[in-house]
Structure 1
Amino acid sequence: MAHILLFHSILGLRPIERDLAREWEAAGHTVTLADLYDGRTAQDYDAGFAIHGEIGPARVRARGEALAASAPEDSVLAGVSMGGDLVGHLWGQRPRCPGALLISGPAPWSPDLRPGFPVQSHIAHPDPFDGEEFFADWVARNPGAALDLRRYDGVGHYFLDPTLPDHGEQAARDCRAAMLEFLAKL
């Protein structure tokens, strides 16, 4: 089974990430949850961006790097929205990483990704933070990763979180099932 390193969204480490960790652990995986905000969380995106700004992007990234350095080298990298940015920063530096999960946002591609690197991405369609041209360009710039991009109609950005107006019950079920299948194959 996989060891998974999960980076939270701009909202901080919230119950939804803990719930995902429990679900993945019940399937036999080990999960390390990042708490890049020292326990602080936000109920909406504006408050999340304010916390991120107070801590500072460089410090948030350094915290993510430190956590990754302490995790097994063959950890699956998983990121929610802003956490996907950390995944993109790290995945080219971890040659033993078996794959990556991106939830509610993409990650910057690395030219150091090995060919066929498994990436499963779950993103709202449309996404309120990035336009469709952005996603078309993101797919076109793929340096050879085995990308499984799944889009979900009629939901908000972080559609997995039942406490947000973004939530889509069926999309969340479908996403969670697909992630479990992905992890089981790694």
Structure 2
Amino acid sequence: MTEIVLFHSVLGLRPGVLQAADQWRAAGHVVHVPDLYGGAVFDDYDEAFEFLAKYGGQAELLRRTDAAVDGVRPDVVYAGYSNGVISVVHLAASRPGARGALAFHGSVPVRAVDADLWPSAVPVQVHEAELDPFRDDEANREFAETVSSSGASYHYFSYPDVAAHLFADPSLTGEYDAAAAAAMHGRALEFIAACEDRGR
């Protein structure tokens, strides 16, 4: 059993995130799914980013991230969808004891959360659509180099011919890709199991 904290995307705590958490619970894991938006959920990215800016931007996002793990044990796997990866990188870099980090739909450099180094004991798995409209190759490269230079394990998975961003959320009409989502969740479960073995 692994304990996991799963953070939602800029669109809020959508059904796709909750379904992922249920899959991991069915596999025997404990999953926390914080709602950093207080119930607000969006279908439109522009509206979601506007909401995020109004409530205080990244500074407030990270404050709520820290509050969300208050009382949660430190030896967990952090996972995040899209904008939730900011929370993942922040916690893995600043809160000692993490077992692993899962970045779904992109990654961010550690300097984006005012960190300099990646913990050598925290393996990383990144997933992203090959044709993701939000894809940032420079950010991915910088994050990969920082993780790898620390000595931590780093694996990047690109999903060929997938042009959507949140392709793993079945509630997003026009973005969901069942095959890519299944592959992503399968790889994530293998990663989580490996993190569990490391903790024994």
Taking structure 1 as the reference length, the TM-score comes to: 0.92
Query: Structure 2: which 5+ runs fail to align?
Result: 196-200
- Cα distance in structure 2, aligned partners of 1:68 and 1:52: 20
Contact 1:6 1:32 in 2 (8 A): yes
Instruction: Map 1:29-44; keep pairs closer than 5 Å.
Output: 29-44=29-44
Percent pairwise identity: 37
Contact 1:87 1:107 in 2 (8 A): no
Q: Which residue of 1 aligns with 2:169?
A: 161
Residue 151 of structure 1 and its aligned partner are, at CA, apart by 0.6
Secondary structure of residue in 1 paired with 2:35: coil
- Cα distance in structure 2, aligned partners of 1:116 and 1:149: 17
Q: Which residue of 2 aligns with 1:179?
A: 188
Secondary structure of residue in 1 paired with 2:107: coil
Q: Which residue of 1 aligns with 2:198?
A: none
- Cα distance in structure 1, aligned partners of 2:190 and 2:32: 19
Secondary structure of residue in 1 paired with 2:51: helix
Query: Structure 1: which 5+ runs fail to align?
Result: none
Matched, 1:126 2:127: no
Q: Which residue of 1 aligns with 2:103?
A: 102
Per-residue CA deviation, residues 47-75 of structure 1 (Å, 9 max, x unaligned), is 21122122122222211111122211111
Residue 183 of structure 1 and its aligned partner are, at CA, apart by 0.7
Contact 1:12 1:41 in 2 (8 A): yes
Q: Which residue of 2 aligns with 1:77?
A: 78
Q: Which of 148, 156, 162 pairs up with 2:155?
A: 148
Per-residue CA deviation, residues 150-180 of structure 1 (Å, 9 max, x unaligned), is 0112221111012222221111010011111
Taking structure 2 as the reference length, the TM-score comes to: 0.86
**Greater CA drift, 32-41 or 160-169:** 160-169
Superposition CA RMSD, Å:
1.6
Matched, 1:114 2:119: yes
Q: Which residue of 2 aligns with 1:25?
A: 25
Contact 2:117 2:146 in 1 (8 A): no
1:24 partner letter: W
Contact 2:89 2:101 in 1 (8 A): no
Per-residue CA deviation, residues 16-37 of structure 1 (Å, 9 max, x unaligned), is 1111111101111101111011
